[in-house]
Structure 1
Amino acid sequence: MSDIANTSFFNDVCAFFDHAAQFTKHPAGLLDQIKACNSVYRFRFPIRRGNGSVEVIDAWRVEHSHHMSPTKGGIRYSEMVNEDEVMALAALMTYKCAIVNVPFGGAKGGIKINTRNYNIGELENITRRFTVELVKKNFIGPAIDVPAPDYGSGEREMSWIADTYYTMNPGQLDAMGCVTGKPIALHGIQGRREATGRGVAIAIRECVGVAEDMKELGLTPGIEGKRVIVQGLGNVGYHTTKFLSELGAVIVGLCEYEGAIYNSNGLNLEEVVSHRKDTGSILGFKGAEKEFKNSSMGLEQECDILVPAALENQITSANIGHIKAKIIAEAANGPTSPEAAAAFTERGGIIIPDMYCNAGGVTVSYFEWLKNLSHVAFGRMDKRYEENANLNLVTMVEKMTGVSLSQEQRSLVVKGASELELVNSGLEDTMVRSYHEIREIKMNNPKIVDLRTAAFVGAIEKVAVSYMNMGIWP
């Protein structure tokens, strides 16, 4: 995340924290407690490869804050992962959960591998062994620490974790709540896969919907027609692009590690994805006006909104001067360095900060965890009752007015909410409320000039209240 190679990602997060902390009135000791990582577990374990050789794997699990239990955070599978990165991501999870009012402490995990170098059997072996190590040290459990997918992991890995945990805890009623992001068939929840991308799209919609703020940027309010460049076509980037397109935005640029493409009139997401599946690259797409072998060049093209949805440290002082977007929506964790963020804000740009912008995933993970603890799917108890009640109401209104609804109209009015609809409703409400809560903090303090600082101030206040309620601080 930093402009200097030797600078720590965690220290950059702490720098953002320290800047925001000056706008609070809490004692230094309490602020230090909130900022520090409570538990850092680094471990190594051997696995046997398919060719018979033995390889030692480095892994981490960090529990940043125990102000609420359980702690919550994804597991990153990457050969670039390190302790500093996991600590930083765990800290961001604490603040993220506080911002969207999800009652978890922050955590994060990392396994230092390149998944492309292992077959499915080896990945399963690594994941299950990782889980065993967490169980041995009491670093996983539905009331202790609940992992989730992150870069390089997904539903498959979460199912291996759940099965391993349950195997080691036979008879535990809430065992499936030990991890979220599971497949539906293994007690997952509808809408989790696309939740982060949907949340990013909602965050952007709320931002551009404030006429006062858009006027200062020289933009018209509303998402319709806004030109967007998205970096990264993984799960988050793909769904962000999909939902922004559905909201009326024009996707003018797409960037991946192999390069970038641009078309001022818009790109068709599904056509690009299909082309990449066929060729292995977004380059060569016939609908592109321009293409760049250097992916970072794609970030510097004309647009209104830039959505970095890849890894950290993508926008730095080296390229911020070339970024033409007026809004940066941080779908990834830590994509903008402190120096770049300050420069962008100084010139009047708006950054929708990562710890709010990509909070859709942990929000729906919270819903999945609740589902696992209650042992019943959302909507199962009341969907049919709701439909019958609505039908009785429609029938009564038709008799009183003499107006009959068509079958299509009747179905629309009578329909009870499904699990997916309830999840999406809860996600949207969370993202909408949280954005305006952050903006209100900013508007109420003239010294706060950016949404990130406002988000940190809100998070610090909420975590501080939790610690004070423990009786540690008067």
Structure 2
Amino acid sequence: MSNHMAEQYSFFKGVERSFDKAAKFTRFSKGILDQIKACNSILQVKFPVRIGENIEVIEAYRVQHSHHKLPCKGGIRFSMEVNQDEVMALAALMTYKCAIVNVPFGGGKGGIKIDSKKYSAFELEKITRRYTSELVKKNFIGPGIDVPAPDYGTGSREMSWIVDTYSSLNPNDLNAQACVTGKPVSQGGVRGRTEATGLGVFFGIREACSFEEDMQKLGLTTGIVGKKVIVQGLGNVGYHAANYFQQAGAILVGLIEFDGAIYKENGLDVNLVQAHRKSSGTILNYPDAISYKSASEGLELPCDILIPAALEAVIHKDNAERIQAKIIGEAANGPLTPDADEILNKKGVLVIPDMYLNAGGVTVSYFEWLKNLSHVRYGRLEKRFSENMYAEVVGMVESMTNKKVSELERKVILRGPDEIDLVHSGLEDTMIGSYQEIRQVFKETADVEDMRTAAFICAINKIGVSYEELGIFP
């Protein structure tokens, strides 16, 4: 087994280790716990695609981890690192993630073992469409069966190829658009999907910082304003998270990319750093900031909140002791190894777990799926009604007080909700409610030492009850 395979294998084992740690605190029998842990369906396919003059055999997977709720939900990644172990681990995390944020899906995950940089757009389209037809053939895709989404190496373009292929193979399916999420808005996508995960990270950490009792233990004040934040990874998730923290009054002291880190005690502007990166090809040598050639060194710099938003296992047993952050928000999947987890918990660091914190993407995917099934845009029915009602209220207030509301105030007060307002509001409510559930389990369950275990307990309890009520254990 190659080193990388061994690493991926331990990532799956790490998920199981966290599950077993939490399962002890639940009331379910071994049989039900084994059923929750097991991958229900695993599809491995190899199919031929003509690339230039040659035929290439492409290896691909789709794993449906849990059928306690349908459809299954999870991204499709294009990467040379794709293997069955990794896809199984990520599908399992999706099951628990959906349960934690009360999204009624089972977990799934897919992957195609290719280096997408080596193919033209036309070739990638051929591969994606052929993969979709394999999923259709084996009944591994459909609005009520299994609904993929973008992941590493894929985006809205690939999702539009999938929905088009699925629709052409199922011409009588009225809900065909709901077979995949993360689509372009013109193809039935939802506004707010791009920034959803980063915004969810912001809402989750903001909620964690709102409890005075918890912040006092860390020696911090409540709220986001003035908190020193370091973000690792300026991809879609990291960039949006950094931007929302900046707008909320946090001080962005550090940014980390694969080629190094920059640190500035009185604050960086993420948009100016992005502009510098675009012109110079790196975040290093940003004016007035200290540059570090080693990306891992950036994780160990002083801050209140550290947000790893890039790779798996960046904080491990060898560097966990040196981490100075008081709060770690896991925006990436599995950025802490189980060993690092234990070290940081002993140090009293608040680790907000990935399977809750980065659930913004699947939450907004759920809204997109509902939009596709209802065939109506969010806000279309209520926007004008709300604006007319607000106008009447303002009119009454003006006539009672004999004072006129200014034009600016009128504009703010009379605005009815657009799709993006409703999506952001639904995401905010989900992240706040779910954090409070996890925190309650953490507070009320004796001997639970960390939020990750509490999150797993929440997930296991909900899935276990589903299995009991399905009556599949006579």
TM category, shorter = over 0.9
Return the alpha-carbon distance in structure 2 between the equivalents of residues 226 and 64 of structure 1.
39
Return the alpha-carbon distance in structure 2 between the equivalents of residues 125 and 249 of structure 1.
45
Match in the other structure for 1:198: 199
Report if the CA contact (8 A) 1:45-1:56 is conserved. yes
Match in the other structure for 1:240: 241
1:220 matched to 2:221: yes
Q: Match for 1:14 among 16, 39, 45?
A: 16
Match in the other structure for 2:416: 416
Report if the CA contact (8 A) 1:383-1:418 is conserved. yes
1:331 matched to 2:334: no
Summarize deviations over 1:25-45 as a string: whole Å, max 9, x none.
Answer: 100000000011101111122
Matches within 5 A, 1:47-196: 47-49=49-51, 51-196=52-197
1:284 matched to 2:281: no
Gaps of 5+ in 1: none
Amino acid in structure 1 at the alignment position of 2:16: C
SS of equivalent residue, structure 2 residue 391 = helix
CA change 1:52–1:350 in 2 (3 A) is same
Matches within 5 A, 1:243-392: 243-292=244-293, 294-392=294-392
Summarize deviations over 1:299-322 as a string: whole Å, max 9, x none.
Answer: 111111111111211111121122
Structure 1 position 218, deviation (Å) = 1.3
> Which range is displaced more, 267-276 or 193-202?
267-276
Match in the other structure for 2:444: 444
Return the alpha-carbon distance in structure 2 between the equivalents of residues 119 and 259 of structure 1.
30
Amino acid in structure 2 at the alignment position of 1:98: A
SS of equivalent residue, structure 2 residue 166 = helix
Structure 1 position 445, deviation (Å) = 1.4
Report if the CA contact (8 A) 1:2-1:313 is conserved. no
Match in the other structure for 1:211: 212
Amino acid in structure 1 at the alignment position of 2:11: F
Structure 1 position 187, deviation (Å) = 0.7
Report if the CA contact (8 A) 2:205-2:329 is conserved. yes
Report if the CA contact (8 A) 2:8-2:85 is conserved. no
Amino acid in structure 2 at the alignment position of 1:42: Q
Structure 1 position 401, deviation (Å) = 2.4
Structure 1 position 393, deviation (Å) = 2.0
Return the alpha-carbon distance in structure 1 between the equivalents of residues 283 and 291 of structure 2.
12
Match in the other structure for 1:40: 42
Summarize deviations over 1:343-375 as a string: whole Å, max 9, x none.
Answer: 100110111000000001100100000000000
Return the alpha-carbon distance in structure 2 between the equivalents of residues 191 and 282 of structure 1.
27
Amino acid in structure 2 at the alignment position of 1:373: L
Structure 1 position 286, deviation (Å) = 2.4
Structure 1 position 171, deviation (Å) = 2.8
Report if the CA contact (8 A) 1:10-1:88 is conserved. yes
Return the alpha-carbon distance in structure 2 between the equivalents of residues 396 and 5 of structure 1.
66
Return the alpha-carbon distance in structure 1 between the equivalents of residues 168 and 77 of structure 2.
23
Report if the CA contact (8 A) 1:73-1:109 is conserved. yes
Structure 1 position 46, deviation (Å) = 2.3
Return the alpha-carbon distance in structure 1 between the equivalents of residues 57 and 135 of structure 2.
16
Return the alpha-carbon distance in structure 2 between the equivalents of residues 128 and 280 of structure 1.
34
> Which range is displaced more, 279-288 or 447-456?
279-288
Return the alpha-carbon distance in structure 1 between the equivalents of residues 351 and 8 of structure 2.
25
Structure 1 position 444, deviation (Å) = 0.6
Structure 1 position 114, deviation (Å) = 2.2
Amino acid in structure 2 at the alignment position of 1:20: A
Return the alpha-carbon distance in structure 2 between the equivalents of residues 15 and 244 of structure 1.
32
Amino acid in structure 1 at the alignment position of 2:119: Y
Report if the CA contact (8 A) 2:9-2:85 is conserved. no
Return the alpha-carbon distance in structure 2 between the equivalents of residues 55 and 2 of structure 1.
24
Structure 1 position 7, deviation (Å) = 4.6
TM-score (structure 1 length as normaliser): 0.97
Summarize deviations over 1:171-199 as a string: whole Å, max 9, x none.
Answer: 31100000001111111001011000000
Match in the other structure for 1:31: 33
Return the alpha-carbon distance in structure 2 between the equivalents of residues 304 and 166 of structure 1.
49
> Which range is displaced more, 314-323 or 172-181?
314-323
> Which range is displaced more, 273-282 or 207-216?
273-282
Return the alpha-carbon distance in structure 2 between the equivalents of residues 374 and 407 of structure 1.
36
Summarize deviations over 1:107-159 as a string: whole Å, max 9, x none.
Answer: 01111222222221222122111111111111111010000111111111111
CA change 1:345–1:2 in 2 (3 A) is farther
Match in the other structure for 1:395: 395
Amino acid in structure 2 at the alignment position of 1:337: T
Report if the CA contact (8 A) 1:226-1:250 is conserved. yes
Divergent runs of 4+, >6 A: 1-4
Report if the CA contact (8 A) 1:2-1:8 is conserved. no
Give me the CA root mean square deviation. Answer: 1.7
Return the alpha-carbon distance in structure 2 between the equivalents of residues 389 and 416 of structure 1.
9
Structure 1 position 6, deviation (Å) = 7.5
> Which range is displaced more, 187-196 or 75-84?
75-84
CA change 1:2–1:324 in 2 (3 A) is farther
Summarize deviations over 1:68-95 as a string: whole Å, max 9, x none.
Answer: 0101001112222221111111111111
TM-score (structure 2 length as normaliser): 0.97
Match in the other structure for 2:459: 459
SS of equivalent residue, structure 1 residue 8 = helix
Report if the CA contact (8 A) 1:227-1:304 is conserved. yes
Return the alpha-carbon distance in structure 1 between the equivalents of residues 433 and 392 of structure 2.
33
Return the alpha-carbon distance in structure 2 between the equivalents of residues 452 and 223 of structure 1.
22
Structure 1 position 9, deviation (Å) = 1.6
Structure 1 position 56, deviation (Å) = 2.1
Summarize deviations over 1:191-210 as a string: whole Å, max 9, x none.
Answer: 01100000001111111221
Report if the CA contact (8 A) 1:60-1:109 is conserved. yes
